[in-house]
Amino acid sequence: MDAAAKPLTRNILPDRDYATLADYERSGGYQGLRRAVSELSPQAVQQQVSDAGLRGRGGAGFATGLKWSFVPTGEDAPKIRFMIANADEMEPGTFKDRLLMEKDPHQLLEGLIIAGYAIQATQAYIFLRGEYHLAARRLNQALLEARAGGYLGRHILGSNFSLDIHLHAGAGRYICGEETALINALEGKRANPRAKPPFPQVSGLWGKPTVVNNVETLCNIPHILHYGSAWYQSLGRGADKGTKLFGASGRVRRPGVWELPMGTPVREILEDHAGGMIPGYALRGFLPGGASTDFLLPEHLDVVMDYDAVSKAGSRLGTGTMIVLDDKTCPVRMVLNLQQFFAGESCGWCTPCRDGLPWVVVLLQAIIGGQGRSEDLDTLTDLVRMMAPGNTFCALAPGAMEPLQSALKFFRADFEAYITGKTPPLEQADEYY
């Protein structure tokens, strides 16, 4: 595949630490921004991104151009608006945004500046996970270079558009990836999600119109502006457009992340790119897009990685980075690990999540510890229902229920084997750090 078919990772080379401004410019960098601010109106930029068919890469898959279009425009619209890059990558099993920021920081900056132009933002922020120290250094360096190069600051590339970007590093909490929690976190408040509506595009950061886009989403924007929406559409293999960073971790031969067309079959990712399972291990199932997606089975290997195709198979594309379950890892214990993560990361704001997730953990610990009763599986099913979408304040608990409900369906015998004593209990099943 040539570099034009891999726009997001064309600057990520095995023998180069990261792309400097000069490297980035040599590869056509900042041409998309130049075109946007010198030739196109903000509405035309929005239209081009809508035409390209770009959907959010953070997990929800919302159409990016449509998201931007909700920002009020016109004479009466608020003059202060904010554009935010969501760089709070923390979904277990996900390792794509870190790569993009560490290896090609200017690509994110250019995407963020163009997005800022499209909504006529007056200030932009990158909300970066506090643990990503190397990404922070590279981004801060890139910000200095971009300001010196005239790509950022007053009158960008001689246009009437001015914008600055400030890097805001968090201090580590999963819920900060939820866009309204992120806004509270940025304001210096406890990062509980906010009620919607109002949506951030109308009333977000400090009550002003605000758009929050994922890092990978923003990294697509410069290329759409530079090469056009028709070119972008041609990159997809299925219903969805463009390329995406897909990944695999677990007991595969070559864990990693690869830029591939949307619509690439799971089999190609796991077998060709990840090299199949490590000898001695067989594929039992996989979470297609991070910890908060439903398990799929080997029978789903021919599902293509498109938003709707993965939904139809019973899961979600999510972040597109797969976690592989092998035949020697206990699915019940894997689900316990996932639920401990979600219970620990619940912000505690709404009752179903705050009390429901620890209850799930206690029941799973009892089952794995040999104290489980068959009715516990009914209770777990009830808890899945009680934490379904619509019953909680945000998507954290419903997301947590996805691997649980699918494990109860696909791996029920593994749960029952602990309850009947067929699987020996794990000592200290309630130990967790």
Partner 1 sequence: MSIDAQTASMLNADDIRDIKAEMAHYPDKAAAAVEALKIVQRRQGWVSDAALTAVASLLDVSTAQLEAVATFYNLIYRQPVGETVIHYCSSVTCWMLGADDLRERLCRHLNARPGQISPDGRYTLLPIACLGACDQAPALMVGERLVTGVGAETAVTEILGEQS
59 touches partner 1 by CB under 8 A: no
Q: Which is nearer to partner 1, 39 or 427 (CB)?
A: 427
Q: Which stretch binds partner 1 (CB under 8 A): 52-60, 127-135, 301-309, 371-379?
A: 127-135
Contact 7, 223 (CB under 8 A): yes
Contact 226, 107 (CB under 8 A): no
The token duo for 50 is 């809508």
Tell me the CB-side half-sphere exposure of residue 366, using CA atoms within 13 A.
Answer: 15
Site for partner 1 in 141-200 (CB under 8 A): 166, 168-174, 185-191
Q: Which stretch binds partner 1 (CB under 8 A): 146-154, 195-203, 252-260, 383-391?
A: 252-260
94 touches partner 1 by CB under 8 A: yes
Q: To the nearest whole angstrom, how small is the minimum distance from the Cβ of residue 205 to partner 1?
A: 9
291 touches partner 1 by CB under 8 A: yes
249 touches partner 1 by CB under 8 A: yes
Q: Which is nearer to partner 1, 119 or 135 (CB)?
A: 135
91 touches partner 1 by CB under 8 A: yes
Residue 277, CA distances (Å) to 259, 280, 324 in order? 20, 8, 9
90 touches partner 1 by CB under 8 A: yes
Q: Which stretch binds partner 1 (CB under 8 A): 46-54, 131-139, 152-160, 359-367?
A: 131-139
Phi, psi of 274 (to 5 degrees): -85, -5
Instruction: Compose the 322-351 pattern: x for residues touching partner 1 by CB under 8 A, - for all others.
Output: -x-----x----x--xx-xx--xx-x----
The sign of the CA dihedral 291, 292, 295, 301 is negative
Residue 338, CA distances (Å) to 68, 87, 360, 398, 432 in order? 33, 22, 11, 13, 12
Q: To the nearest whole angstrom, how small is the minimum distance from the Cβ of residue 138 to partner 1?
A: 13
Instruction: Measure the CA angle with vertex 26, ends 23 and 31; round to 5°.
Output: 115
Instruction: Compose the 12-51 pattern: x for residues touching partner 1 by CB under 8 A, - for all others.
Output: ----------------------------------------
Which helix (H) or strand (E) is 274 found in, with range? none
Q: Which is nearer to partner 1, 323 or 332 (CB)?
A: 323
Contact 391, 362 (CB under 8 A): no
Phi, psi of 26 (to 5 degrees): -60, -30
Other CB atoms closer than 10 Å to residue 383's CB: what's the count?
22
Q: Which is nearer to partner 1, 190 or 196 (CB)?
A: 190
The token duo for 407 is 């494990």
Q: To the nearest whole angstrom, how small is the minimum distance from the Cβ of residue 363 to partner 1?
A: 19
Q: To the nearest whole angstrom, how small is the minimum distance from the Cβ of residue 345 to partner 1?
A: 6
Other CB atoms closer than 10 Å to residue 157's CB: what's the count?
17
Contacts of 430 (CB under 8 A, 6+ apart): 362, 365, 369
| Secondary structure (DSSP) of 11-53 | T--TT-S---HHHHHHTTTTHHHHHHHHH--HHHHHHHHHHHT
Q: To the nearest whole angstrom, how small is the minimum distance from the Cβ of residue 280 to partner 1?
A: 14
Chosen residue from 222, 250, 288, 399 binding partner 1 by CB under 8 A: 250
206 touches partner 1 by CB under 8 A: yes
Give the number of residues in contact with partner 1, rule: CB under 8 A: 53
Q: Which is nearer to partner 1, 82 or 161 (CB)?
A: 82
Q: Which is nearer to partner 1, 231 or 281 (CB)?
A: 281
Q: Which is nearer to partner 1, 219 or 235 (CB)?
A: 219
130 touches partner 1 by CB under 8 A: yes
Q: What is the rounded distance in angstroms from the CA atom of residue 364 to the CA atom of residue 383?
A: 12
Chosen residue from 56, 59, 93, 193 binding partner 1 by CB under 8 A: 93
Instruction: Please report the beta strands in 56-149, taking only residues with DSSP state E, as ranges in sequence order.
Output: 82-87, 123-128
134 touches partner 1 by CB under 8 A: yes
Residue at token pair 């920021």: 101
Residue at token pair 């997730």: 357
Q: Dihedral angle at the C-alpha atoms of 238, 302, 100, 6, nearest 10 degrees?
A: -50
219 touches partner 1 by CB under 8 A: no
Footprint on this chain of partner 1 (rule: CB under 8 A) = 89-95, 97-98, 129-134, 166, 168-174, 185-191, 206, 247-251, 255-257, 291, 321, 323, 329, 334, 337-338, 340-341, 344-345, 347, 432-433
